[in-house]
Structure 1
Amino acid sequence: MLSNYTKEFRQNLKIAYPVMLGQLGHILVALADNLMVGRLGAAQLAAVSLGNSLIFIALSLGIGFSFAITPLVAEADGANDTQTGRNYFHHGIVMCALNGILLFVLLLLAKPILYYLDQPVEVVELAIPYMDIVAFSLIPLMVFQAFKQFADGLSNTRYAMYATLVSNVVNVFFNFILIYGFWIFPRLELVGAAYGTLISRFFMLWMLYYILSRKKKFQPYFVWTRRKAFQLPIFKKLFDLGFPTAMQMLFEVSLFTSCIFLSGILGTNAQAANQIALNLAAMTFMIAVGLGVTATIRVGNQKGKADFENMRRIAFSLFLQVFLIEAVFAVGFILLKDILPTFYIDNVEVILLAAQLLIVAALFQLSDGLQVVILGALRGLQDVNIPTFICFIAYWLVGFPVAWYFGQEDQMASQGIWYGLLAGLSASAVLLYIRFNYLSRKLIHQVSEGKTTAG
């Protein structure tokens, strides 16, 4: 019966809404940058898009590794094993901090790539100093991710939300005084937006640490591990889960990034329109991300209890819920396609191009939402290798060829690029569903056989 699934909606949202708002907070940092920088002109807005393209690739890798913490902590929590959960948490902090430093260095080394991507020269020259500063902000952001994923694993998702939302106020404040210049502060334009992001991410990390370290529930986890107590097998388990997850995110984000580059080939206005549509689509995507994290937590808990029938039912309730929510967003994009881009820029050509892209974005809302929630459920099962292979096939053997061919100026131009995104996301959703359906049925069958044998 349908009620078997809909009765889980309330509990799903209870866990998911802080994640949704917290993830939306990250997007709002980019939104604040886009809205405030967009007033400087199309070239500046395109530069933010180009600079963030490499940042987002690095960010996807770092966040992917941090996602390994959540299912392991959730499983330990389901089994009431605090010591194991603490070990995963402490090792996860070290892993994420090292990742942040490594990603910062790699981004500094990767800057010259921007000159070889056939992008407008004025856009590249504006993007590089912006990228330098935002790259450094990945260090505090990665450590923040370790604390966030740990708290998520314990089904406490609201504290990261608080830190993220408050940090947005910090970001907007420093954006205003540093982008445009106010009182004693100089007018730094794009560089000012980058400094606003950097300051807000250090603040976000401090605030989450402050909250968690003072909550009674978390105090057993804040008994810090001695250096000699760090164990290679635990790092290996985090890596075995984190690396495939990072690859999953890399394959998807790099597809979107390649579409930024393809848009840049079409010109500055096309790239600015692409950035507007991406930013709007990313905000609705964060709702699905919240439910995806919820799927990881709830499936991980049920795995710890070995209750696979309820695990499957809960997972399917999440699939249904995200489908219904994303359908509402799809209708909204279609109805408001001519209005939403005007909040970013007053360039008529850019607005018209962005409105066309929002029609395609409306279509892939459903498959995008489904694929991220199903991927979260598979992560809760700690099944990451086959889904990584699926993501590669969907995004790079299906999505990119469609985007490249139809995205050429003599084909469908910008819309063709976005049809490539639609194709890749739809393929991912279908294949991942097949995988989860197979695994969940297999686990239920194994338990049933075990009971029959025992009887």
Structure 2
Amino acid sequence: MFQQYTKEFRYNFKLAYPVILGMLGHSFVAFADNIMVGQLGTAELAAVSLGNSFIFIAMSLGIGFSTAITPLVAEADGAKNKADGKSALKHGLVLCTLLGLSLFGIILLCKPLMYSMDQPPEVVELAIPYLNLVAFSLVPLIMFQAFKQFSEGLSQTKYPMYATILANVVNIVLNYLLIFGSFGFPKMGIVGAAIGTLASRFIMVAFIWYLLRSKKKFYDYVTGFNFRKIENKVMRKIINLGFPSALQMFFEVAIFTAAIWLSGVLGKNAQAANQIALNLSSMTFMFGMGLGVAAMIRVGNQKGLKNFKELRRLAQSIFLLTLLLEIVFATLFLLGRHWFPTLYLDVDDVMNMADNTEVIVLAAQLLLVAAFFQISDGIQVVVLGALRGLQDVKIPTFITFIAYWLIGFPICYYLGLHTDLKSTGIWIGLLTGLTASAIMLYIRFNYLTKKLIG
């Protein structure tokens, strides 16, 4: 019985692992940023956390929107229709560029909000100049996403991975040179981290375009665009799929951002501990994200072939693989919860000993909750991927809103600010929201696929 699912594990992982490595790349950059910035002090670490909280919200809209390109390309590929695949990329690229520019503008307008958010004043002063530069890096990042989603739609998941690895290397080198002023470069602190991020994202989009152009099988897709000929029908199709997908991602990322802000109300140490737990959890979440992309591709292909029985079997094999993997991560978090936080701070720093010790104790408590939340988080993101492959996006958007904002957030707020649980209470709210989302999305997938099989 299990064998019909486990025999797909190898191919599922082959599709997912380049996506996972690419996504881990993004997280690793944040990890490197946090570790380097953490050496400057807890206020600097909290400032990067606060600045990035705005970026993550905008990024969720951009990345969520771009996912519309993958199922359209996968369906066109399943039906052997090259023209539709090229059209999805061209129109997606136009929309992603416009979206990147709009999000950059919106962040600049929202900057003054930081002063009225009850955050520590020294943290806000540090966060503003950092935010200016990182906000602009959203433009190349979301353009890169269009190429990435297109490449994944053709089941070619490794080229975006190469581009991300290059960007990470560039980012880490520039961080080292500009944060600390190494080898005669100016010492710029967290602004140096922002410059590293901006430069690496421009290099990333240029490199993926060069990579795809130099491969014969992609050449016709990625060259000779006629941007004067834009079809409303294709634009509408991408927007109809992309907008709900963007909202789904936004609802989830926004609740994590709310957790950052609620932690800021509890003080800079609570915010720094929250940042550590969030950064570690986001790394394991990337495995779920990668498997979610594999689910979207495989379900999209079977939808193109109209083979619904196989579609259900393949999706369920990915759900099972994710569950097993997340249980392994949960165990790692339980065993390493006291050690992981020590990687982020200078434990031998005598001046900040009291702050650093408090952050490590708080982060260990949060990782205890994060261990269980891995499992729900992984399941909900792969089921969401499968539903996107089916091009079912509207009902899942309502489900994510209910799970995170009507169930999860009120619990975060109440337990975090009105009980002695404080930071741990915020994370119990996150765990509840993710679990509700995973259960409801699976019920939706189960209902739809049974109906398609008839």
Equivalent residue number for residue 451 of structure 1: none
Q: Distance in 2 between matches of 1:249 and 1:435?
A: 18
Matches within 5 A, 1:291-306: 291-306=291-306
1:409, distance to aligned residue in structure 2 (A): 5.7
Equivalent residue number for residue 435 of structure 2: 426
Matches within 5 A, 1:13-412: 13-345=13-345, 346=347, 347-408=356-417, 410-412=419-421
Q: Which amino acid aligns with 1:49?
A: S
- Per-residue CA shift, 1:102-147, capped at 9, x if unaligned? 1111111110111111100000111111111000000110110000
The aligned length equals 445
Q: Which amino acid aligns with 2:41?
A: G
Percent identical pairs in the alignment equals 61
Q: Distance in 1 between matches of 2:422 and 2:245?
A: 32
- Per-residue CA shift, 1:375-410, capped at 9, x if unaligned? 000000000000000000000000000100101264
- Per-residue CA shift, 1:315-368, capped at 9, x if unaligned? 000000000000000000000001000000131110010000000000111100
Q: Distance in 2 between matches of 1:314 and 1:227?
A: 37
Say if 1:170 and 1:196, in contact at 8 Å, map to a contact too. Answer: yes
1:185, distance to aligned residue in structure 2 (A): 1.3
Q: Distance in 2 between matches of 1:223 and 1:168?
A: 27
Q: Distance in 2 between matches of 1:309 and 1:435?
A: 16
1:9 aligns with 2:9: yes
Q: Distance in 2 between matches of 1:287 and 1:115?
A: 36
Q: Distance in 1 between matches of 2:411 and 2:128?
A: 30
TM-score, normalised on structure 1? 0.97
Say if 2:71 and 2:389, in contact at 8 Å, map to a contact too. Answer: yes
Say if 2:334 and 2:367, in contact at 8 Å, map to a contact too. Answer: yes
The worse-fitting range, judged by mean Cα deviation, of 266-275 and 343-352 is 343-352
- Per-residue CA shift, 1:1-49, capped at 9, x if unaligned? 1000000000000000000000000111111110000000000000010
RMSD: 0.7
Q: Distance in 2 between matches of 1:398 and 1:125?
A: 34
- Per-residue CA shift, 1:405-433, capped at 9, x if unaligned? 10126431000000000000000000000
1:229, distance to aligned residue in structure 2 (A): 2.0
Q: Distance in 2 between matches of 1:351 and 1:19?
A: 31
Q: Distance in 1 between matches of 2:112 and 2:437?
A: 32
Which residues of structure 1 form unaligned runs of 5+?
446-455
Say if 1:367 and 1:425, in contact at 8 Å, map to a contact too. Answer: yes
Equivalent residue number for residue 415 of structure 1: 424
Q: Which amino acid aligns with 1:371?
A: Q
Say if 1:405 and 1:411, in contact at 8 Å, map to a contact too. Answer: no
Q: Which runs of 4+ in 1 moved over 6 A?
A: none
Q: Which amino acid aligns with 2:219?
A: Q
Q: Distance in 2 between matches of 1:411 and 1:440?
A: 45
Q: Distance in 2 between matches of 1:12 and 1:228?
A: 39
Say if 1:90 and 1:224, in contact at 8 Å, map to a contact too. Answer: no
Equivalent residue number for residue 449 of structure 1: none
Q: Distance in 2 between matches of 1:227 and 1:172?
A: 36
Say if 2:178 and 2:188, in contact at 8 Å, map to a contact too. Answer: yes
Q: Distance in 2 between matches of 1:151 and 1:141?
A: 15
- Per-residue CA shift, 1:39-86, capped at 9, x if unaligned? 000000000100000100000000111000000000000000000110
Say if 1:259 and 1:417, in contact at 8 Å, map to a contact too. Answer: yes
Q: Which amino acid aligns with 2:388?
A: R
Q: Distance in 1 between matches of 2:238 and 2:43?
A: 41
Q: Which amino acid aligns with 2:434?
A: L
Q: Distance in 1 between matches of 2:163 and 2:225?
A: 25
1:182, distance to aligned residue in structure 2 (A): 1.8
1:436 aligns with 2:445: yes
Q: Distance in 1 between matches of 2:156 and 2:13?
A: 13
Q: Distance in 2 between matches of 1:193 and 1:222?
A: 32
Q: Distance in 1 between matches of 2:436 and 2:222?
A: 42
SS at match of 1:382: coil
Q: Which amino acid aligns with 2:190?
A: L
Q: Which amino acid aligns with 1:419?
A: I
Q: Distance in 1 between matches of 2:281 and 2:87?
A: 37
Q: Distance in 2 between matches of 1:317 and 1:394?
A: 25
Q: Distance in 2 between matches of 1:89 and 1:224?
A: 12
Q: Which amino acid aligns with 1:444?
A: I
Q: Which amino acid aligns with 1:296?
A: M
Q: Distance in 2 between matches of 1:350 and 1:402?
A: 23
Which residues of structure 2 form unaligned runs of 5+?
348-355
1:223, distance to aligned residue in structure 2 (A): 3.6
SS at match of 1:273: helix
